[in-house]
């Protein structure tokens, strides 16, 4: 009798595990695919009513996934992008800071800097642009909206490059 109970418990546990670690991420991957295309379109029309409606809808679609797949950095970036479309920049910055607890990539630092710039946090934004630039270069610095922060970011990354070249003995 007890063997049958244990076997049934194993079966139930397996079903629950498959749902949690396979079905949920699969569903979130599909939803993220759908939201990704919609977010791209909405950014082309940033500030418009249709973009805001799309962002609201996207957040509603992805909200549950973000809670369940916390270490999925792409999901966090997608969600923060939609919060930015609604000018809810502090929520977007919070999501990006949370994502940096699981993965550190230049793109995340750049996005965080951009969001902080919109929040008026210029010094914090500069730090994050420089973190991104020191690693990945300045290829996207042209997108920094604030000219002063942009120039200072270019200068800081340039100094870092010069120092590295000097240490390498190539300058």
Partner 1 sequence: MRWHSAWERALAALILLGTLATPLVISWGGQDHFRLPKQLLLVALAIICTAVAAMGLVLRKLEWPLDLRLPLAIAAAGLGWGVVSGIASTNRALSIQALLWGASVAALFLVMAFALRVASVTMLAVALFIPGLINASLLLLQAFEIWNPWTFDAGMPRRLMRNALLGNPNDVGAYLGVLTLFAIALLLTTKRWPYALVAATTGAALVATETLTAIVALSAALIVMLIIRMPRIGVAVGVIAPLLVLTALLLYPATGVRVRALERSARAGMWGEVMSARLPAFVAAWEMFRDHPLLGVGPGCFKFHYMSYYAEIERRYPRLLVNAPKGTIFVQTHNDQLQLLAEIGLPGYLLVIAGIGVLAMRAFRRSRGVARLLAIPLATLVLVMMLASFSMQLAAPVWTCIVLGGGCLAWSDSDVA
Ranges within 62-91 binding partner 1 (CB under 8 A): 70-71, 74
Ranges within 93-112 binding partner 1 (CB under 8 A): 101-107
Please check whether residue 89 is in contact with residue 111, taking contact to mean a CB–CB distance below 8 angstroms.
no
Return the range that interacts with partner 1 (CB under 8 A); candidates 51-59, 84-92, 118-126, 161-169: 161-169
Instruction: List C-alpha distances in Å: 9 to 1, 19, 86.
Output: 13, 15, 46
Please check whether residue 58 is in contact with residue 50, taking contact to mean a CB–CB distance below 8 angstroms.
no
Burial of 10 (C-beta count, 10 Å sphere; 0-12/13-18/19+): exposed
**Interface with partner 1, residue 137, by CB under 8 A:** yes
Nearer to partner 1, 21 or 119 (CB): 21
Q: Which of 40, 41, 135, 162 contacts partner 1 by CB under 8 A?
A: 135
DSSP one-letter string for 23-50: IHHHHHHHHHHHHHHHHHHHHHTTTSHH
Return the range that interacts with partner 1 (CB under 8 A); candidates 19-27, 42-50, 82-90, 114-122: 19-27
Burial of 63 (C-beta count, 10 Å sphere; 0-12/13-18/19+): exposed
Count of residues that bind partner 1 according to CB under 8 A: 40
Binding site for partner 1 (CB under 8 A): 3-4, 6-7, 10-11, 13-14, 17-18, 21-22, 25-26, 29-30, 32-34, 36, 70-71, 74, 101-107, 134-137, 139, 164, 167-170
């Amino acid at each position: 009798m007890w063997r049958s109970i244990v076997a049934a418990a194993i079966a139930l546990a397996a079903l629950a595990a498959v749902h949690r670690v396979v079905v949920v991420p699969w569903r979130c991957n599909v939803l993220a695919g759908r939201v990704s295309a919609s977010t791209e379109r909405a950014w082309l029309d940033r500030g418009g009513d249709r973009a805001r409606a799309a962002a609201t809808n996207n957040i509603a679609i992805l909200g549950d996934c973000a809670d369940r797949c916390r270490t999925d950095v792409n999901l966090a970036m997608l969600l923060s992008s939609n919060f930015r479309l609604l000018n809810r920049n502090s929520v977007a910055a919070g999501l990006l800071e949370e994502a940096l607890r699981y993965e550190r990539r230049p793109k995340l630092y750049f996005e965080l800097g951009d969001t902080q710039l919109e929040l008026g946090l210029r010094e914090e934004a500069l730090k994050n642009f420089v973190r991104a630039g020191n690693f990945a270069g300045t290829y996207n610095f042209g997108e920094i909206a604030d000219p002063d922060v942009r120039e200072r970011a270019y200068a800081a990354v340039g100094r870092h490059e010069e120092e590295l070249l000097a240490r390498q003995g190539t300058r």
